[in-house]
Chain A
Amino acid sequence: MRRRQFIKALSASLVTIHTPLLAATPLAVKSASNDKPAKLVWVIMRGALDSLHTVVPTFEPDMARLRPNLYPAIKDDLLAIDNGFGFHPAMTHMHSLYKKKQLLVINAVSSGFGERSHFDGQDFLESGLARIDADSGWLGRAAASRVNKAIAVSNSVPISLRGYDKVTTWYPSRFHSADSAIFDALQDLYQSDSLLSKRLAQGLALRQLTSEGSNGYNRGRFVDLAKSCGKILANDQGTDCAMLEVGGWDTHNYEIRRQHKHLVDLNEGLQALQESLGEYWDNTVVIMATEFGRTVKENGTLGTDHGTASCMFMAGGAVAGGQVLGEWPGLSQKQRFEGRDLAPTSNTFSWIASILSQHWRLDNQQIAEVFPQASPYRGNLIA
């Protein structure tokens, strides 16, 4: 009960607490540097991203003790950003974007969702309302106020974009939609079934063989979806927002390998999106967030379990990048949420509200319709 109340309170109360975190410049919405439409890409990272193995606080004295396997695996290869944080070694392109001031990271965010169920947590993050509404999503409501088209790179309209009628879905041709998250999960499930586990291993080996050098088989890969997404946004002038999904973050075991693989995907995907957007990248904001975080301590199976706060990213030529935002809660026992999780210090929706008000210039009333429970943080997120 306490947990739920605390996290709910986050949405309302933290607005004032966190204004100082941002640059003190007044809310001055700059006009875009050219007259291209302001594009927005929403990337939901399904599965609960472990931020401590993504944006690593190297200054925390206890990291090696809390994470005796995970931390040493990447410690020496981290890509340094500001304030003592380092990106996971796989995030090379994201690191260079950060250095070019086209990517910012916000630590210790939470949507205010108070449970640890992936399904509901994702619905909550997509709906953006106090109570999950499977028929209405925040991006759909935001797009509705722009009256422009939106595209979901998906087989069906995800909750994020529901409730708006100018949404189309696009997905590469049939039967190539399973991604590594599904294969990972099936490998786990089939451990007690020798036939199916053998067949799956053979199938994956076969797939590996046939996908190399051809663009036929792996069309469900995030990098390909992101590339296509960028092309659609760049070529269809009526479409100025898109949604992508990237899974695989539920790293209960073998996190070193899994997280690496998925960060490679994310990193390459973002690069592919940027390249296919071409000059539209300059006017684009990419928001990347996850439903909740993971435990501070490593578990007994070389992974981490469901937690509370995680990090989010904003990237794009339109973003005031090169910043580490979000108050750092610390990792000591009493600084953790319930002694276990990274504690949330700001609200995901408020950050998204800020970017919507600045990038898409939604007014207060429009923002209130998109996020009835969250107000924008002040400060400039747009370059």
Chain B
Amino acid sequence: MQPVDNVNISHAAAIAVNRFGIGARPDDLAAAAADPQGWVMANLRAIDFSKSSSPNSSQILIKLAEIRQLRKQRQQLLDSGMREEDGEIPQELMDPAGNYFQSTYRQLATDSFNQALASEHGVSWRLLDFFSNHFSVSASSQGMTALAATLEREAIAPYLLGSFTDMLIAVCQHPAMLIYLNNEKSFGPNSIFVQHGRLGLNENLAREILELHTLGVDGGYNQADVVELAKGITGWSVKKPVDKHTTGFKYRSYGHEPGERILLGKIYRQKGIEQGEAMLRDLAAHPNTAKFITTKLATHFVSDTPSKELLQALQQRWKQSNGNIRQVMEALVRHPDAWHHDRAKFKNPKDFVYSSLRGLGVTQVGQGQYFSTMRSLGQAPFKAGSPAGFGDMQQTWDGASALMARIEWTTETVRRTKRTEPETLMSTTLGSTVSHDTYAHVSRAESRDVAMTLFLMSPEFQRR
């Protein structure tokens, strides 16, 4: 392990909590001060959603199937000549979905946010956000609106500190990803399904696995590889679960493309589901995947332009550990380049909201508040609108309107939250890293509200 500049321990503590975590709660900085690196590592804990009262993907899929069924019944009645206007359609068939999609989406997303907001283990939540955005799914259709927030809970969180391979396979076998990228109806041209008239191959998920989830766009694959991977995961589909303890993933062997596949020059002779899984395992272990994901990781945590040394260290650790995420995080946290004093990262809206609210001692927000906040700041939950996820560079977030929206939100938030002294806020969130300039402006501000807004909008609080 390499030594890190501990000359100014409080500076390192502020970096630990803000750059690696999601901002300081009132006592976090003090807790991190003794051993900032150790604090970050100890902050990496499994995130457990199993105690959450929010529905899981199985419950949602069951409900979606019910809604479909009721809608079908209604359509049948209409087709048979019954008229809605005459009250001939039973009440329970009139609007089977009601507000289900939106309310489920809001409940899940807000529940996750609140767990993070109050969490002792901010570093884990930042890492979860990173991989959730890496495997971005959007609340696009009705079904996806209800399902989007379950992917990170069920397929990412359980593997967050473990093997990337396991996470990749879990994600690619999760109903949210399968539906989002249309794999649930992708069947091999020579499969029994297609021979009997079903639609054929859909390359969407396979392409994004290669381009976005593993090798990266310049990762050395071609169109033939996309098709081969797509065929390898044909039949990876979704079925209504029996109950909430069974998963919605269903391998449909009749839809799987028979025969061997060649991906990146390697032959896969496995039959059935094992074929695609073997392909994913190899993709996860590919050096270009190590390079692609560690670069994204360093860019996310440290800088839009991370140093070559840092990137090399992360890649090396990725290879040594077979893509063990905790190990790679350890390499990041122990690297001196990750602790430079410049605040190189402009906070994205979610980070900014997390860190502001945590600093102000807020431990819970309402659904309406959370959604209107994130919409106005341009990062509505699970609304990246693209499988590439939200951008992670400064230019994604530093626009003039975005800044104005942050100012408005901050002004309103400090007025609504219980009173905190500006000096207290400064010292509990950034400690001695507050610049003299900001300190002077904040302590001289003409009112407490203005002081709080100035600090949260200060150059050092906007970055990490």
B contact residues around A174 at 8 Å (CB): 372, 376, 412
The smallest C-beta distance from B183 to any residue of chain A, in angstroms, reads 39
User: Chain A residue with minimal CB distance to B451?
Assistant: A119
Q: Is the CB of A203 within 8 A of B446?
A: no
Q: Is the CB of A122 within 8 A of B448?
A: yes
Q: Is the CB of A118 within 8 A of B438?
A: no
Q: Is the CB of A247 within 8 A of B459?
A: no
In the bound complex, how far is the Cα of B181 from the Cα of A20, in angstroms?
Answer: 84
Q: Is the CB of B408 within 8 A of A250?
A: no
A contact residues around B446 at 8 Å (CB): 46-48, 118, 181, 185, 247-250
At the interface, yes or no: A146 with Cβ under 8 Å from chain B? no
B contact residues around A368 at 8 Å (CB): none
Q: For this complex, into which size category does the number of interface residues on chain B fall? A: 35 or more
B contact residues around A6 at 8 Å (CB): none
At the interface, yes or no: B441 with Cβ under 8 Å from chain A? yes
Interface membership of chain A positions 182-222, coded 1 if the CB is closer than 8 angstroms to chain B and 0 otherwise: 11011011101101100110111011000000000000100
Q: For this complex, into which size category does the number of interface residues on chain A fall? A: 35 or more
At the interface, yes or no: A271 with Cβ under 8 Å from chain B? no
Given A118-B446, A156-B416, A196-B459, is A189 in contact with B399 using a C-beta cutoff of 8 Å?
Answer: no
Interface membership of chain B positions 420-464, coded 1 if the CB is closer than 8 angstroms to chain A and 0 otherwise: 011000000000000001100100111110110110011100100
Most B-side CB within 10 Å, residue of A154, A174, A178, A188: A178
At the interface, yes or no: B400 with Cβ under 8 Å from chain A? yes
At the interface, yes or no: A323 with Cβ under 8 Å from chain B? no
At the interface, yes or no: A83 with Cβ under 8 Å from chain B? no
In the bound complex, how far is the Cα of B399 from the Cα of A203, in angstroms?
Answer: 8
Interface membership of chain A positions 163-183, coded 1 if the CB is closer than 8 angstroms to chain B and 0 otherwise: 000000000001111110111
A contact residues around B441 at 8 Å (CB): 185, 188-189
Q: Is the CB of A186 within 8 A of B454?
A: yes
Q: Is the CB of A154 within 8 A of B411?
A: no
A contact residues around B411 at 8 Å (CB): 177-179, 182, 220
At the interface, yes or no: B170 with Cβ under 8 Å from chain A? no
Q: Is the CB of A185 within 8 A of B416?
A: no
In the bound complex, how far is the Cα of B451 from the Cα of A122, in angstroms?
Answer: 13
At the interface, yes or no: B409 with Cβ under 8 Å from chain A? yes
A contact residues around B422 at 8 Å (CB): 119
At the interface, yes or no: A335 with Cβ under 8 Å from chain B? no
Given A46-B447, A156-B416, is A182 in contact with B459 using a C-beta cutoff of 8 Å?
Answer: no
In the bound complex, how far is the Cα of B281 from the Cα of A47, in angstroms?
Answer: 63
A contact residues around B403 at 8 Å (CB): 196, 199-200, 203
Seed contacts A46-B447, A186-B453, A189-B458; 11 additional CB < 8 Å A-B pairs: A118-B445, A119-B422, A175-B372, A181-B447, A182-B407, A196-B462, A204-B404, A220-B411, A247-B450, A250-B446, A252-B444
Q: Which residues of B contact A (CB under 8 A)?
A: 372, 376, 398-401, 403-405, 407-412, 415-417, 419, 421-422, 437-438, 441, 444-448, 450-451, 453-454, 457-459, 462
Q: Which residues of A contact B (CB under 8 A)?
A: 46-48, 118-119, 122, 134, 154-156, 174-179, 181-183, 185-186, 188-190, 192-193, 195-196, 199-200, 202-204, 206-207, 220, 247-250, 252
Q: Give the 5 A-B CB pairs with smallest separation, nearest first.
A: A47-B446, A250-B446, A202-B400, A155-B415, A203-B404
What are 20 of the A-B contact pairs (CB < 8 Å)?
A118-B444, A119-B422, A156-B415, A156-B417, A174-B372, A176-B408, A181-B447, A185-B450, A185-B453, A185-B454, A189-B457, A192-B459, A193-B459, A199-B400, A203-B400, A203-B404, A204-B404, A206-B401, A206-B404, A250-B444
